[in-house]
Amino acid sequence: MAKISSFPLDTTISKTDKVIGTDSVTGATKNFNLGAVLSLVSGTVNVPGQDEIDSFEFDQSSASSTWTITHNLDKFPSITIVDTNNNVVNGEAQYQSKNTIVLNFSAAFAGKAYLN
């Protein structure tokens, strides 16, 4: 079997390049696309049977006093809400399920909700 040091060095890395690794479920040796690895590490992909995505960003672009958020984190996340000027806003959160939250505010505004 060849040693890794015997292969030539690739100085132009791309997301379509592949690396070799071991599948944690089957134990089989597999090729992994660097783009898929990057997505997993950055938390933008959910791998069934593996750790869930840790966070979700919700953008409420139109002013509303009620925001309904479907996040698919499969948990009851903590929430930070900001308006369009990045001021933290307080409201009432109602967890409808592990994947849906309804936020109620005393006044309508646009902004973002960060869930983790």
8, part of any domain: no
Burial class of 3 by CB neighbour count within 10 A (0 to 12, 13 to 18, 19+): exposed
pTM here is 0.56
Task: Write down the pLDDT at residue 60.
Answer: 97
Which is more confident, 70 or 46?
A: 70
Could you list the residue range(s) of the whole structural domain that residue 19 is in?
Answer: 13-49
Is 3 a member of any domain? Answer: no
> Does residue 106 or residue 25 have the better pLDDT?
106
Residue 111, in any domain of the structure: yes
| 110 shares a domain with 62 | yes
- The total number of structural domains in the chain stands at 2
Whether residue 6 lies inside any domain: the answer is no
Which residues, including other chains, have CB under 8 Å from residue 23's CB and lie 6 or more apart? 29, 30
The dihedrals phi and psi of 37, each to the nearest 5 degrees, come to -65, -45
Comparing CA positions, the residue from 76, 77, 100, 80 lying closest to residue 90 is 80
45 and 60 together in one domain? no
